[in-house]
A and B are shown apart, each in its own frame.
Chain A
Amino acid sequence: MKKRAWVSLVLALILGLSTLSTIVMAEDTVKIGGIGVLSGPYAVYGLAVQKGVNLYIEELNAAGGINGKKVEVLWEDTRGEANDGVLAFNKLVQNDKVVGIIGPVLTGVTRAVAEYAADENIPMITPSATAYDITTDRANVFRTCFLDPFQAVQMARYAKDEGLTKVGVIYDNGTEYSKGLYEAFVQECAAVGIEVVATESAAYGDVDFKSQLTNLKNTAPEAVFLPYYGAEAALMLTQANDIGFETRFLGADGIADVVDSIGNKQLLTKMTYSDHFSTQADSQMAKDFVAAFQAKYDEEPSVSFSATGYDAAVVLCDALAKAGPEMKFEDTIAAIKATDVEGVSGKITFDDHNDPIKSAFIMTFDENGNKLFVKMQNP
């Protein structure tokens, strides 16, 4: 009897919740689909995007929305899985009839979803998928972040500007992000005349890099390029310090969250990396964004995808406003293609490959782990 009561309680709960979820949303709004990883180990990126997008939509609605209509973003979680991303996409397009998509956040998921988006020819802007081929041959797919190779190229040029001549590289041969950056960095180094004195690789999921770091140390590079995410980069900085390896480290946007994973913040002063945005950026729009974000969420937009997410919303809503009241997909796409707006991460226009033409923010840290804006590296 007790068992049955329990089971029926749970069933009732589920039924009740599913009915709740089907309550009809208010009509006469502009519906935009948001797809991102909102749970699981990569949720930090998805949530950052979500905050940025929601902030802009709130500002926009306060200012009257698009042509008098309020804008609503329907968010769907991908859990970081391609299959869930595709299901989420189909739900938004088929069931919710959204007029445009912001997301997905992770490259792998975006690659799967972009294919479906191309079939539907729905305008889609990813704020964070950095792999080159995602927008290739897909007139409807755009992004507001720069590409992996672009960042590596900018870092190599920055190294040249800094007068470095000998560098080492360590990369993860199991992630596309790391491999892509590594290849572009090495290529650009050759182009600008920097010697790559040592190349080391590690497997996806490795946590001990001491042997690779020792090999690097033996070649005495002036800097080491780490195309990694924060958690691994923190391990490397710590382990390099353990073996007495004194050098500078260069990285890309993945480094941004390194401060969450490292114990000895002092080590971060050796790190320089490129990012999509800096909270210390000096444009008025960026300053307003940082202030509004701070006010709404009581935190700084420290993950730069909040900024690119905000910009994706800016670009999409700007295009929707120009596409006319029916908001036909092809009109919106044409409007995005012709975009020339001021975003928080700089002025945004798109090239032939639907990639944004914008600057990289070169960043470093102070001894307390606070981010310091160094300079803009222009393309």
Chain B
Amino acid sequence: MNMKAKSYVLNIAALLIVYIVLSLLISTGTFNSYISGILATTGIAIMMTVSLNLTTGLLGQLALGHAGFMSVGAYVAALITKSLNMNFGFALPVALIAGGLAAALCGLLIGMPALRLKGDYLAIITLGFGEIIRVVIENLSVTGGASGLSRITRMSRAFSEDANVSSAVQFSIIFWMMVVMIASIFTLGRSRHGRAIISIRENEVAAEATGIPTTYYKLFAFTLAAFFAGIAGGLYAHQIGMLSAKTFGFNKSIEYLVMVVLGGMGSITGSIISSAVLVALPEFLRGFSEWRLVIYSLLLILMMLFRPSGLMGTKEFSLLASWTATATTLKRWLGIKKRPTKMPFTPHYDVWEDSVVLETKNLGISFGGLKAAEGIDIQLKNDEIVGLIGPNGAGKTTFFNLLTGVYMPTEGDIILLGKPINGKPTHLITEQGIARTFQNIRLFKSMSVLDNIKVAFHTRMEYSPLSGIVRDSRFSSEEKGIDIRARELLKVFNMEDVADVRADGLPYGQQRKLEICRALACNPKVLLLDEPAAGMNPIETDELMRTIRLIRSRFSVAILLIEHDMKLVMGICERIYVLNYGRVIAQGSPAAIRDNPEVVAAYLGTTEQAQTAEGDLAHAEG
């Protein structure tokens, strides 16, 4: 039996055993309604925590109003079962889904403005949302106002005359909803969509530059978390039987946040364990209620002192393998054919041979009257290595930011492969063929080297989030394809043996290389390198020069690089543009640039030192 199958059998067996044992204990009455109540409460808390972890852990955005979404789901679901005059067994699923959708809608509406912004805006807006929704519910007559909704059909009563059997049905519903929710978040987290979400947490700027539509994915993750919270709310309403808006206040949101933090941001299993413990613990401590709060707080403090990254950090206990295996088995049963492996990488080599791929015309930008760049005309041909040099503050990085859509040009045009691209968002520009690296390395640090590359394949993959969750054949064919391509790419750079290492565990030179590698995985026609040799020792720089030459010959890509290391620039560039005060002051071959007195003067500022500078440049050439 291979590892995957073993883990599959183990996980499924564990789940089934837990389920069968608990539901038997409940249906026979060995576990009375007190214990089954604790189990149900715990299950709902786990759903809330795991879904909040999607926003806070995976996406990396602080949200302070998660209980607000729960209340929306709870009220909508309760109102539906109260008003629908049909069998509770039919009404409940309808109500739960409607509750989830209503919460998701709220998530979408408040996420749209909030998630466009960077920083802590989401925290403030969700905080406001949590309070607003409470006030709204307290003032609507349909929600029962301040007195809330009571006499909601309870799952522990509605399914059978026998209270124990009905409680067992309630347990089954909550248990399997919880399993499905957790498994969905697990599998989603390991699909292209999950990689996109995590890459945003790791480095939003780099994610956008790697072709990830960050706003879309932030909104997607946030809305999905709200959807799950809405479903958990619906279950809560039909478990407790009575709703009051105050239950879902700020404190409740914080309670769930504490559970996420304790379990470890980003660890689903950590969330499960911490919420189970934090919900069940106070119940076991009931016998000495005066000590309850003391012990509870003491545990929190100890936890934060000894495990500041939470119980599990970002580590996981594997449930994934079992899910994959279940999906595979199901597919076999259903007779779904295996799709051929889909390769995402189809480079367009010959089309643009020896022609201009990137051109700027009279490009410029001013920041409130200050002209950071003006009248820049450059041309890049296919397969060319071009240098962009200039003293500090000359506008080199600004120029890169203009090309990649980080800044909007105030004048002029950027033409890529014959089409104007100015004004487009970064991720679309990346998709159309400009990839870049950053002056200060921006990797997705906690992701593996291989996953860093895979993020860059995102735009050339097609499967939907749902495919990612259920792992259908489309998912597996594409994932197999990018796995092959990503490993091929790493092999070109002699990095295949570090594929599974965390990106921040690499030595500096390799981190630079990985960033270049990731940029190439976007399948660019133009590669922008922002000071690739910064911080490198001479040996690493030599290797970098070999790498850059290799890229050109292998990937048929035009390279534009900013660099201060004259040895590197003079050594590999075929043409050089010199920028000063936001203008191109010279262009030509390295030899011509080296001999250009204007360049030398501009570069060092004074004529006195020009001699020395000339000497430096000459030395570099030699």
Chain B residues near A86: list those with CB within 8 A. 37, 240
B41 within 8 A of A: yes
- Is A51 interfacial (CB 8 A cutoff)? no
Interchain CB contact under 8 A, A108 and B240: no
A1-33 vs B: 1/0 string, CB under 8 Å? 001001100100110011011100000000000
Chain A: which residue is nearest B299 at the CB level? A10
Distance in Å: Cβ of A116 to nearest Cβ of chain B = 8
B interface residue count range (under 10 / 10 to 19 / 20 to 34 / 35 or more): 35 or more
Interface residues in B235-261 by Cβ distance below 8 A to A read: 240-242, 244, 246-247
Chain A residues within an 8 Å CB radius of B138: 173-174, 204
Given contacts A10-B302, A18-B287, A77-B289, contact A173 B150 (CB under 8 A): no
* A111→B147 CA distance, assembly (Å): 9
A21, B148: Cβ atoms closer than 8 Å: no
A176 pairs with B145, CB closer than 8 A: yes
Whether, in the assembled complex, A375 has its beta carbon less than 8 Å from a beta carbon of chain B, the answer is no
- B36-72 CB contacts (< 8 Å) to partner A: 37-38, 41
The interface size bin for chain A is: 35 or more
Interface SS of B by simple majority: helix
Task: Flag if A90 contacts B33 (CB, 8 Å).
Answer: yes
Interface of A is mostly: helix
Inside 8 A of B135's CB, which chain A residues have their CB? 174, 203-204
A230 to chain B, nearest CB (A): 19
Contact of B244 among A39, A75, A87, A108 (CB under 8 A): A108
Q: Which residues of B contact A22 (CB under 8 A)?
A: 287
Interface flag for B454 (CB, 8 Å): no
Check: A38 CB closer than 8 A to any chain B CB. yes
A82 to B71, CA, bound (A): 14
Assembly CA distance A81 to B75 (angstroms): 17
Cα A39 to Cα B306 with chains together (Å): 29
Q: Does A94 contact B (CB under 8 A)?
A: yes
Say if the beta carbon of A76 comes within 8 Å of chain B. yes
Interface set, chain A 69-118, CB cutoff 8 A to B: 75-77, 81-84, 86-88, 90-91, 93-95, 107-108, 111-112, 115-116
A175 within 8 Å of B by Cβ?
yes
| Complex Cα–Cα for A107 and B154 (A) | 20
Query: CB of B291 within 8 A of chain A?
Result: yes
- Supposing A6-B302, A86-B37 touch, asked if A115 and B154 sit within 8 A by C-beta, the answer is yes
Q: Which of B277-304 contact A (CB under 8 A)?
A: 282-289, 291-293, 295, 298-299, 302
B306: A residues at CB distance < 8 A: 3, 6-7
A18 and B284 in contact (CB under 8 A), knowing A10-B298, A108-B244, A115-B154? yes
Measured between C-beta atoms, what is the minimum distance from B82 to chain A in Å? 14
Chain B residue numbers with a CB within 8 Å of A10 are 298-299, 302
Complex Cα spacing A18 to B150, Å: 35
Flag if B286 contacts A179 (CB, 8 Å).
no
In the docked arrangement, what's the CA distance between A179 and B151, Å? 21
Which of chain B's residues 294-333 have a Cβ closer than 8 Å to chain A? 295, 298-299, 302, 306
Is residue A162 within 8 Å, beta carbon to beta carbon, of the partner chain? no
In the complex, the answer to whether A115 meets B150 with C-beta atoms within 8 Å is yes
Residues of A within 8 A of B151 (CB): 115
Q: Is the CB of B32 within 8 A of A131?
A: no
- Shortest distance in angstroms between B81's beta carbon and chain A's nearest beta carbon? 15
Which B residue sits closest to A119, measured CB to CB?
Answer: B157
Quick one: closest B residue to A84, CB to CB? B282
Q: Is B90 interfacial (CB 8 A cutoff)?
A: no
Which residues on the B side are within 8 Å of A82 (C-beta)?
240, 242, 244, 247
Assess the B146–A175 pair: CB atoms within 8 A: yes
- When the two chains form their complex, are residues B286 and A91 in contact, meaning their CB atoms are under 8 A apart? yes
A87 lies within 8 A of B38 (CB): yes
Q: Could you tell me if B240 and A95 are in contact, using CB atoms closer than 8 angstroms?
A: no
* Most chain A beta-carbon neighbours within 10 Å: one of B34, B138, B295: B34
Complex formed: what's the CA distance from A116 to B295 in Å?
Answer: 30
Question: Which of A38, A84, A111 is in CB contact (< 8 Å) with B150?
Answer: A111
**Chain B residues within an 8 Å CB radius of A90:** 32-34, 37
CB-defined contacts of B286 to chain A, threshold 8 Å: 21, 76-77, 88, 91
Cα A29 to Cα B157 with chains together (Å):
31
8 A Cβ contacts from B111-156 to A: 135, 138-139, 145-148, 150-151, 154
A298 at the binding interface (Cβ < 8 Å): no
Inter-chain contact B33/A112, CB cutoff 8 Å: no
A133 at the interface (CB under 8 A from B): yes
Contacting pair A7 B302 (CB below 8 A): yes
Output the least CB separation between A78 and chain B (Å).
Answer: 10
By a CB distance below 8 angstroms, the chain B residues around A38 are 289
0 or 1 for each of A190-234: is its CB under 8 Å from B? (1 = yes): 000000000000011000000000000000000000000000000
- Pick from A18, A21, A112: contact of B240, CB under 8 Å: A112
In the assembled complex, the Cα of A203 lies from the Cα of B154 at a distance in Å of: 31
User: In the complex, A272→B241 CA distance in Å?
Assistant: 38
- Interface membership of B498, Cβ < 8 A: no
- Beta-carbon contact of A95 and B34 below 8 Å: yes
Contact present for B285 and A18 (CB under 8 Å): yes
Distance in Å: Cβ of A128 to nearest Cβ of chain B:
16
Q: Which residue of A lies closest to B147 (CB)?
A: A176
Q: Which residues does chain A contribute within 8 Å of B147, judged by CB atoms? A: 107, 111, 131, 133, 176, 179-180
Q: Which of A120-134 contact B (CB under 8 A)?
A: 131, 133
Cross-chain contact A112 with B287 (CB below 8 angstroms)? no
Flag whether B343 is at the interface (Cβ < 8 A). no
A66 to B: closest C-beta gap in Å = 25
Contact between B244 and A76 (Cβ–Cβ < 8 Å)?
no
For A134, give the chain B residue with the smallest CB separation: B150
Residues of B within 8 A of A203 (CB): 135
Question: How far apart are the CA atoms of A202 and B455 in the complex, in Å?
Answer: 52
B163 at the interface (CB under 8 A from A): yes
Complex CA distance for A178 and B283, rounded to whole angstroms: 33
Q: How far is the CB of A371 from chain B (nearest CB, A)?
A: 28
- A222-271 contacts to B, CB under 8 A, are none
Check if B139 sits within 8 Å of A173, measured CB to CB: yes
Contacts A7-B302, A21-B287, A119-B157; is A94 near B34 (CB within 8 Å)?
Answer: yes
Contacting residues of chain A (29-55) with chain B, CB-CB under 8 angstroms: 38-39
Q: Which residue of chain B has the shortest Cβ distance to A6 in the bound complex?
A: B302
Closest residue on chain A to residue B157 by CB atoms = A119
Q: Which residues of A contact B287 (CB under 8 A)?
A: 17-18, 20-22
Q: What is the CA–CA distance of A91 and B295 in the complex, to the nearest angstrom?
A: 21
Which B421-470 residues have C-beta < 8 A from chain A? none
Q: How far is the CB of B462 from chain A (nearest CB, A)?
A: 44
- Chain B residues with CB under 8 A of A173: 138-139, 146
**B44 nearest CB neighbor, chain A only:** A83
Question: A179 near B145 (CB under 8 angstroms)?
Answer: yes
> What is the CB-to-nearest-CB distance from A98 to chain B, in angstroms, rounded to a whole number?
12
Q: 10 A-B Cβ contacts within 8 A? A: A82-B242, A83-B41, A90-B32, A94-B32, A111-B242, A133-B147, A174-B135, A175-B146, A179-B147, A203-B135
8 A-B pairs with the lowest CB-CB distances in the bound complex, closest first: A21-B287, A94-B32, A90-B34, A176-B146, A112-B242, A176-B147, A94-B34, A77-B289
